[in-house]
Each structure stands twice: as structure tokens, then as C-alpha cells.
Structure 1
Amino acid sequence: MNTSSRFAFAVHVLALLSLQGGVPLSSEMIAGSVNTNPALIRRLLTMLAQAGLTTSQLGAGGGALLARAPEQITLLEVYHAVEDTQLLALHREDPNPACMVGRHIQSVLRGVIDEAQQAMEASLGTRTLADATADVVRAEKQRERRRRAQA
């Protein structure tokens, strides 16, 4: 069973860009933070740009930038920009219709899965990139306080 990390990578990239104060970042610099390949970051940035979340600055010193303020980007927009499947999925192959469970499980799960997807999307719709970035900054401040307390 596969899971996608595109959403997590995309929020990471956007949070990094939001903390740069308008300074463009290259895919190589972003990849260093995400700890992945720059080609993967470029594909992700293309998806984010198509959704109107990032833009690029060409030339020397160029790179990726946020297209809008972090407060104006919901995590739901990020999710829709990079994910092409639902969070949960039904069987890839039809279950056995000769089995009572096989005959009915798809219809039973369809409602449960749709409800879970709607709840997740509702939650992501209430959170912005600014919220995620503020949480990163807050976590770093707590880390620094603990480090100083241990020294």
C-alpha cells in the first residue's frame, strides 16, 4: 500500500519560502531542507505554480517565491494542488460477489471514506500556511529554550 508524501513536502517547501521574506530559493536549496532530490522539488514547484501558490524568478539569484501571502494560502489549497487521490481508497479489484462481505463492503466503506475525506478537507480548509509556519517558528523557539535550559 502506497502513501503519498507530496502534501508534507509541499507544506515544507511553502513554509520555507514563507520564512525567506521574498528572497527566491533555488530547487537545490529547497531540496537540501526537504532532504530529497532537486528534480522532485522542481516537479512539486510546477504543481504549486499551476495552482497559483508559487511563482519563479528567473536569472542569477532566481528561484521559487510564494505567489500570495501565507495568510491567503489554505492547507486545503496545497492538498488539492499536489494530491490526485483521496486519502483512503477502496479495493483496487472488485471483491468476490459470492461472499456476503465482498458483495457489500464497497458500498459500506464508500460512505465512511467520503465522510473521512470531507472531515479532513474541512480541517485543512481552516488552516493556512501562516498557521503552519507560525507552528514551526514556535517549535524552534521551544527547542532553543530547552537547549539553553540544559546548558
Structure 2
Amino acid sequence: MSISSRFAVGIHILTLIDFNKEGTSSSEFLASSVNTNPAVIRKLMGMLKKAGLIEVHPGIAGAKLAKDLSQITLFDVYKAVNVVQEKELFSVHDNPNPKCPVGRNIQNTIEPLFEAAQLAMEKVLGSLTLEDVVKDIASKENMNC
């Protein structure tokens, strides 16, 4: 199991909006870069708008970032697209055998470990910004020119 691709696509959308700030970032344009259906992009853009990360206006094609690149963390994107709920990144199997010492204790033993791992991951995402992503992509593109 992996984290929903909505997270990666959300980062992709925001990054492309910044790269294309002189042009129109319509859902069709964004979908062509992600290689998906524009309806998927519109749904995610709605989530990003609700989180205050982008501005879109009805009847006007395109979107723009609502904040500076350095103010949008990857954790903001992660939360905006509803990747997982708090303390629910890892699932624990239901109904282990209570007659077995491992089955009786496994959930209480591993749940705190899973919570700590999720918090650590979220802390890392909170320390990275969209600016970091944009700069990395820009440096890779400059190397290829």
C-alpha cells in the first residue's frame, strides 16, 4: 500500500502553475502534464483552493498560487489533498487472536511506533517547501540545456 497519488499530483499541479505563471494553467493544460483526465485535476484544484494554496475564478481558465512558493510546505499539500487522517497512515490488522500473546499485544505495541513514524514523516514534509521543488526542477532543466 502507498500514499495516494493525489499528493504527488498536488505537488505537480502547484509546481506547474508556478513554472507557467506567464501562461494559462487550465485544467486541460495541467492534465496534459500529469497525463490524466482534466476532471481529476479540477477535483484536486478544488481541494488546493479550499486549503488556500491556489486562486481560481469561475468562468476564467487558469489558476495562480495564493501564497509565495516559500510559504507552501509539502505538508500543506499533503493535508490539502486529504492523503490520510491524523494517526492513520499505517493500518493495523483487525481481530488478532486474543489467546496468543503476540495477537493480544501486537496492536498496542505497534500503534505508537506507527504514530511516531507518521509524525516524523510529516515533520520532514513541513520542512520542505514548494520553492525547494521548483528550484530542484529548474536546476535539472538547466543542466539538460
Q: TM-score, normalised by structure 1?
A: 0.85
Name 1:11's counterpart in structure 2: 11
Q: Which amino acid aligns with 2:70?
A: E
SS at match of 2:42: helix
Cα deviations by residue, 1:2-54 (Å, 9 ceiling, x for unpaired): 64111101001100011122544111110110111111111100111110001
Name 1:65's counterpart in structure 2: 64
Matched, 1:52 2:47: no
Structure 2 Cα separation of the partners of residues 10 and 34 of structure 1? 10
Shift of 1:70: 0.9
Name 2:102's counterpart in structure 1: 101
Cα deviations by residue, 1:103-138 (Å, 9 ceiling, x for unpaired): 111111111111111111111111111111111111
Instruction: From the superposition, tell whether residues 16 and 102 of structure 1 become closer, same or farther in structure 2 (CA, over 3 Å).
Output: same
Segment of structure 1 superposing worse, 121-130 or 79-88: 79-88
Instruction: From the superposition, tell whether residues 3 and 74 of structure 1 become closer, same or farther in structure 2 (CA, over 3 Å).
Output: closer
Q: Given that residues 92 and 107 in structure 2 are in contact (C-alpha distance below 8 angstroms), is that contact kept between their aligned partners in structure 1?
A: yes
Structure 2 Cα separation of the partners of residues 24 and 97 of structure 1? 59
Extract unaligned runs of 5+ from structure 1.
145-151
Q: TM-score, normalised by structure 2?
A: 0.89
Name 1:80's counterpart in structure 2: 79
Name 1:33's counterpart in structure 2: 33
Segment of structure 1 superposing worse, 35-44 or 51-60: 51-60
Extract unaligned runs of 5+ from structure 2.
none
Q: Given that residues 24 and 57 in structure 1 are in contact (C-alpha distance below 8 angstroms), is that contact kept between their aligned partners in structure 2?
A: no
Root-mean-square deviation (CA), in Å? 1.7
Instruction: From the superposition, tell whether residues 53 and 11 of structure 1 become closer, same or farther in structure 2 (CA, over 3 Å).
Output: same
Structure 1 Cα separation of the partners of residues 55 and 106 of structure 2? 44
SS at match of 1:63: strand
Q: Given that residues 22 and 65 in structure 1 are in contact (C-alpha distance below 8 angstroms), is that contact kept between their aligned partners in structure 2?
A: no
Q: Which amino acid aligns with 1:16?
A: L
Structure 2 Cα separation of the partners of residues 23 and 95 of structure 1? 55
Q: Which amino acid aligns with 2:76?
A: E
SS at match of 1:55: strand
Aligned length: 142
Q: Which amino acid aligns with 2:48?
A: L
Q: Given that residues 21 and 64 in structure 2 are in contact (C-alpha distance below 8 angstroms), is that contact kept between their aligned partners in structure 1?
A: no
